[in-house]
Each structure stands twice: as structure tokens, then as C-alpha cells.
Amino acid sequence: MHADSQEEQQVAESGTGPTVEETTTYEVEAVQQKWRPVWESLDCFRPADDGSRERRYALTMFPYPSGDLHMGHAEVMALHDVLARYWWQRGYDVMNPIGWDSFGLPAENAAIRRDEHPATYTYANIETQAESFRRYGVSFDWSRRLHTSDPEYYRWTQWLFLRFRERGLAYRKFSPVNWCPVDQTVLANEQVVQGMCERCGAEVTKRELSQWYFKVTDYAQRLLDDMGQLEGKWPDRVLAMQRNWIGRSEGAHVDFDIALASGETRTVTVFTTRPDTLHGATFMVVAADAKLAAEVCAPERREALEDYLADVRRASDIDRLATDRPKSGVDLGVTAVNPVNGEQIAVWASDYVLADYGTGVIMAVPAHDQRDLDFARAFDLPVRRVVDTGEENPEESGVATTGDGTYVSSGDLDGLTDKATGIARTIEKLEADDHGTGTVNFRLRDWLLSRQRFWGAPIPIVHCEACGEVAVPDDQLPVELPDLRGADLKPKGTSPLAAAEDWVATTCPSCGGPAARDTDTMDTFVDSSWYFLRYCSPDFTEGPFDPEAVRRWMPAAQYVGGVEHAILHLLYSRFFTKVLHDMGMLDFVEPFTALLNQGQVINQGKAMSKSLGNGVNLGEMIDLYGVDAVRLTMVFAGPPEDDIDWADLSPQGSLKFLQRAWRLSGDVTSDAGTDPAGGDTALRKATHKTVAEAEQLLEGHRFNVMVARVMELVNVTRKAVDSGCGPADPAVREAAETVTVLLSLVAPYTAEEMWERLGHQPTVARTGWPTVDPALLVDDSVTAIVQVQGKVKARLDVAPDISDVDLEAVALADPAVVRALDGKEIRKVIVRAPKLVNLVV
């Protein structure tokens, strides 16, 4: 397309519109350069925000500024922009903001390598990406742009931290934490994947550190309950992942008394989901790394426990995660009393019990829990079946039975066959005897938010010897980062901020004495948990956001982004929203009404990666095929949720189609403004049907099918021009203009160029959605099929409003049907007018 386009380029640049005779293609790059400045001067995507039209908030996950945009950005923005532009055409007042999630490690690492400030790398990349977004023609409102690393932004991140702390939702505690030895920082539970650092892939180790947490566990039940509002509007799998992550389980706390070596009795509580199997609890297991293990351990077993603990610590999380790993453990030399039968049972320590789930201690019921059974068999501990499921006794088979069955050796429960009743009755009895209570346990842990890195929002706390932890007063926010760069930022295992002694040394806001600033910064997920609120009033100086502006725009009507944020970002944002609701700052509890997770762009069946050498460069694709062809390829590839394999696609084909559509705009010979009434009816019907169907498809996010429908309309219009009603027919103009408006959602440059050739002023993006004439959606006749025994025997042209009775009569009179029936007796007739008759003989 570039080879022979000299002439056309001149034509395009002169703006006089080439004729069909002169050329059959347009110069893509020239058209892009022609319209960009026009759009920018029109500023056509800034919402009026005056209530004149219904508001809609189109939100896309803001990018992290690492290098230039890549194929993934191109996909998500293409899909997102279809919706935003559709809403504009439908007459909504659309807010479609863009910003950058601009704190984070890559910038810091780059700064160390290049001996500069992280801001240098960060803001240079932001400018590169911003320029690419503009070239890509995304309908952003640039006036709302924000960067989380700007002091005007993180001032409010810090402000929110302090409000959370006032409510007891931000606190510091000393405990074992996940530590990434490469990034030299702690990680949230959510950032550890398969025992590795989610970011760099290094094996995560444990450290005992004093760290800041958000009390997200206080909101576990509400995070779960409010998902009811999202059902059907968020992808099921995301909801499933969140539910899974929150991990609610119902069960009971049961108290066991342990007779300590000292002669004292210590009451220890276990969590179990199967209190009904309490009679089968034949030993207890304490998490080896829990304090409790050492506390209850008999003196003569202490050495064995310490040896075991040393072994456990040597094993990494990776080893721990290996399945089918043999059970290990150590006998603590004390016994506990089973509260339901008074039996003395052994107390062991093992690493298969987790210190930070439930109470860190379990009652082991080997007959009905495979892990407990494996442990019992490894150490020759008793196994007692208390539920007879009809399967082989676990004691012999080595396979624990977990299903329903008849209770045996279980006191009052004996003979019962229903698990739910068994559980309920046991809890009742435990509560009556004061040995335990029914309870709910969550897998969700509190969110560890402090990081020992530089490029993040400083935690606005001062440590004073006299007053302890003191909040930085609101009027002293933001606590700005000191000017550190290059080697100053090298990871040392403590925050680089600690090295900035002038910065650390401060005075206590409370007593005025000498004090030290907290040297940790916040996880960047804190920044991204509220940016969608800030967009509503990005310049607001009285708070993180103007509550009135948020009331007008939030919750976001549609959030578009990658499924990689299915847990972390979305859970945290939901948590923030609920807390802000409880603070009276928001009148809703869920921030994102609907969620669309686009698939990934892959190549040759695999994720693009440097090591595989299968990366596709977005800039090169755009240079080769143009912005519109790349966008169209992304949108047309398949359902938005599916992965796109670039190797399966044809940007060349997309370009071919765009040229084909563009050619139509030059064929139209009627004047702009020509009344389509009286135009070719068949073509008008095709046009109006396409619009009606496109509406349904767009509402259902079935953009690929919408594109196919536009292609069909282009095809029938082509035929109408060449061998039908001819280019002067008003229906041809109507069809071409409709194609242009529909294409404006996907291919803005081509559409704008077509719009001009059709005699209109920019911008087609705001011209409005075509009005569907219902009369043109009705066919003169439709094809009804007649089946005999479910096999098609005849096709009939009938009126679309034919009645069931009439259709049956016509069908039965059809000679082909009569032949097929062959005089057999009709037993049943199914009529679905006007489409189908099925005769059962």
C-alpha cells in the first residue's frame, strides 16, 4: 500500500478528495496526521458535566509507565474506546479519563542503573506513552490526567492512610512477613505467587519485621456479601477468584485443655469445619512455627522441636508447596483432653499446619481428613472412624472419607446420617457445655502495605521517643520524598529513605521534641485503590476528591482492564470504597458497576517475551498498517475476553476492509443532507437492521460480531452501487453514512476521512447515533421452514405476521410436505410462526 501511493498522498494532502477513477486507496499516515490536530483543537471528548445529558463514567485501568505502549495496551484501549465512543454517539455525557500509576519499583531500579532520580525515567515514559495514546486516537479527556507520583496526588494518599489509621484500619505489628531477597522489600500475601515474588520471580523468604497493615479482614464478610451487586456484571471467574481468595469457611472453635509439664492447664482453641467428627479427633497438631508450639512443648522435647524448626526454616516455601510431600513433625510430649469424650490425646507440631490460618492449631481427625491420615500413618497415631460412609475403613485403606454417612462411636450423634445436622448439633452441645462456639473463618489476611523502597508515597508517621507513633498533621501533608538518586537508592534491606538523615530527623508534631520519620513507603496498590475517585475532580484541593463530583460520576459504569488484577487491585479498591462509604464520603459501596476483562495478546500460542523472541512491536504495526487497522484487528479478533493470537490475525485484511469502506464514501453522488426516504428499500432495510443489531451487540460487548455486521453492510452497499440501485440512490448515502458512524467507534481516522468525503464537518465521533426506523426492520416476507420428524422438507415464503393457524394450513398444503407425509397420521404439530412448523407422525 505504500509502494504506489505518491499520487494519492498528494491528493490526500491537498484535501480535495480523490475520485474513484484516480485512486482506490487512501494514504493512511497522511490521514492520521491530518485529523489529529483537528481533534485536539476541537477537544471533543470533554464531558459537559452540567446535567444536560445522562453521565457515564468509562474507566480503564491506568497504565504503569514502563517504556512505550505495547500490544496489550493497544488491545485494551481499542476495546475500551469502542464503548466510550459508543456512549458519546448515544448521547451520554462521557467521562473517560487517563492517568498513570507512576510510583513503583521499575523506575527505582532504572534510576539505580542510570544514576539518576526515578522521576526522570518515570515522567519521560509518561510523555512517551501519552504521545502514543494520542496517536492511537483514544477518546480520553486529557484535562483529568493524573500521576500517582505527583505530590498533589500522594498528599491525599497519605491523608487517606491517616484517616484509615484513625479508624483502627491501619496499624503496625511485628510478625513474620514475606520478604523478597531480590527486591529487598516485604511483599503482601497477594504478591506471593507459588512461593515466588510476583514481580521478579525470586524465591520469597520469611522475616520478622514490624510492618504496616490495613485491616482488610474487618471487611471480609462485606467484600463477600456485596458481590451480589456485581453478579452478572462482573465476569463469573473474577467473582469466583475473589470468593476463593476471601475464603470463608463455616465451622467451630473448640477448646482443648492441654496439661503442661509445669502442671498448669492451658486452654487451646482450634478451628474446624467438621466439629461433627470431634469423636474421631485422636491427636492435635500445632503449627511448628507458631509461638504456641514452643509454649506448650515439654522440656524434654524442646531440643527435638528446635531441630525440627531449623529443618522447616531451611525448607523454602517452594518445597512446602510441593504436593505429596511426606508429612513431618515432632511430638511435643504433652497431652490434651478431647472435650466431647474426655480422652487424652497427643499434641504434635508440624509444618503442615499453618500458623496464620485459623488459630494455628488443629484437631486431627485422621479417618476423615487425608492430611491428618497421612500424618497419623507416618507416626503410627490412632485412627478412629466416626462416620461410616460405606467405603473401606480409612484405617485400612489409607484413604480418608469425607462424604456423608452414618455416625458411629460418636455418642449422641450415632445413627444420624446428615452432616449438616451433625455439625449443628455438635455446635449446640459445645456451646451449652462451654467448650466451643460456632464460628466463621476467613482465608483473607490483612494487607501488608509498607515497603522498604524509595519510589512510593512516604508513610506520614513520625516516631517520637516520648509520644511514640504520631501522625503527621494534615496541614503538613504531603510528606514529600527527599531528593535521592542513583546509588542512594541501592537496596540495603532497610528503606533507602533511612539514609536520608536530614529528611528522617524531624520534630514531633505532638511534643515538639526530636523525632524520626517513618522510612517506609506505601505499596503502589494503595495509590491505585482510589485513583478512579480522584479523576472526578483531579484538581480538588480540599480533600482527595470532591464528594459532589464523585456523586455525579461514580460508580464507574464500566471498568475495562486485565484479568491479572482480578484479585489484588479490585479487592483493594472495593475495600477502600467501603471504608470511604463508612466514613460518610461516598454513598455507594461498590466502585465499578460492570467489569470487562480483555484477554491477552499472544503470539504463536505463547505470551510475548524477549526470551522467546516472539514479541510484536506496536509502533511497527502502526507504521505498517496504520492505527485504525491495528485497532480494528484487535476488536474483530474475537470476543473481548478471549486471548488474541497475533499470528492468527491479519492486520493487512483489516486495512483492506477499511479501504473498501472508505471507497464507498467516494462513490456516493447524492448531496449531503439528502432525505433517504424513497431510496432503495432493500438497502435501507439492511442499513436499519445493521444499526439495530449493532446496538444489541455493543450493549453485550460483542464487538467482533458488530464489526462483522458492518462488513456485511459494506458488502451490500458495494453491490447496490455497482449492480443495484446505483451511487445516486439516497439509500446509498444513508448506508455509507451509517457505515461511517459505526466505524467511528473502531477506526476513528478512517471514519473522519469518510465523513469529510461525504460532505460533513468534523467530528463524526460526536455526530450522534443513527435513528432506527422500526418500519424498516420488518421484512415483507420471511422464510418459514417445514420439518417432518425434525427434518427440513420445505421452505415457504410467508408474511412475517402470519398466524400459527394460517402457517400450519399453508405448510400442510405444500406438495413437498404432502409427499414427505406420505399419508401417515400426524400426531403432533409444533408451530412457531413465522419461522417454523414441525410435524410429528
What residues from 624 to 643 belong to the interface with RNA (CB under 7 A)? 636-639, 642-643
Positive or negative: CA dihedral 514, 520, 525, 531: positive
Residue number with CB closer to RNA (190 or 546): 190
Residue in 17, 106, 247, 509 binding RNA, rule: CB under 7 A? 247
Instruction: Give DSSP secondary structure letters for 99-164.
Output: EE---SHHHHHHHHHHTS-HHHHHHHHHHHHHHHHHHHT---EEEEEEETTSHHHHHHHHHHHHHH
What per-residue string of b and e applies to 737-757 under the rule 16 or more CB within 10 Å gives b? bbbbbbbbbbbbbbbbbbbbb
> Could you tell me how far CA 343 lies from the centroid of its own chain?
50
List the interface residues with RNA, window 653-672 (CB under 7 A): 653, 656-657, 659-660, 663
List the interface residues with RNA, window 411-450 (CB under 7 A): 441, 443
Q: Does 830 bind RNA (CB under 7 A)?
A: yes
Smallest distance, RNA to C-beta of residue 657, A? 6
Cell of 215: 485491616
Q: Does 617 bind RNA (CB under 7 A)?
A: no
Residue in 150, 255, 645, 806 binding RNA, rule: CB under 7 A? 645
Contact assessment for residue 489 and residue 108, using Cβ atoms and an 8 Å cutoff? yes
Q: Per the omega criterion (within 30 degrees of 0), is the bond before 478 cis? A: yes
List the interface residues with RNA, window 24-63 (CB under 7 A): 24-25
- R_g over Cα of the chain: 34
Residue number with CB closer to RNA (301 or 718): 718
User: With CB under 7 A as the contact rule, which of the stretches 39-47, 204-212, 429-437, 833-841 interacts with RNA?
Assistant: 833-841
List the interface residues with RNA, window 194-213 (CB under 7 A): 194
Residue number with CB closer to RNA (406 or 650): 650
Residue number with CB closer to RNA (353 or 489): 353
Query: Measured at the alpha carbon of residue 213, what is the angle toward residues 212 and 215, in degrees to the nearest 5?
Result: 155
List the interface residues with RNA, window 535-594 (CB under 7 A): 567
User: With CB under 7 A as the contact rule, which of the stretches 413-421, 524-532, 547-555, 825-833 interacts with RNA?
Assistant: 825-833
List the interface residues with RNA, window 275-314 (CB under 7 A): 287
Smallest distance, RNA to C-beta of residue 121, A? 29
**Residues paired with 364 in a beta bridge:** 283
Residue in 8, 81, 351, 756 binding RNA, rule: CB under 7 A? 351
List the interface residues with RNA, window 771-800 (CB under 7 A): 783, 785, 787, 789-790, 792, 795
Residue number with CB closer to RNA (155 or 274): 274
In the three-class reduction of DSSP (H, G, I as helix; E, B as strand; rest coil), residue 806 is classed as helix
| # residues contacting RNA (CB under 7 A) | 87
Q: How far apart are CA 203 and CA 167, in angstroms?
A: 35
Contact assessment for residue 340 and residue 365, using Cβ atoms and an 8 Å cutoff? no
Q: Does 806 bind RNA (CB under 7 A)?
A: no
Instruction: Give DSSP secondary structure letters for 318-338.
Output: HHHH-TTPPP--EEEEEEEE-
Residue in 650, 773, 799, 821 binding RNA, rule: CB under 7 A? 650
Cell of 413: 450423634
User: With CB under 7 A as the contact rule, which of the stretches 107-115, 131-139, 665-673, 706-714 interacts with RNA?
Assistant: 706-714
Residue in 142, 352, 379, 588 binding RNA, rule: CB under 7 A? 352
What per-residue string of b and e applies to 626-665 under the rule 16 or more CB within 10 Å gives b? bbbbbbbbbbbbbebeeebbbeebebeebbebbbbbbbbb
- Residues whose CB falls within 8 Å of the CB of residue 388, separated by 6 or more in sequence, listed in order: 405, 406, 407, 408
Site string for RNA, 156-195 (x = CB under 7 A): -------------------------------------xx-
Residue number with CB closer to RNA (549 or 746): 746
Smallest distance, RNA to C-beta of residue 329, A? 9
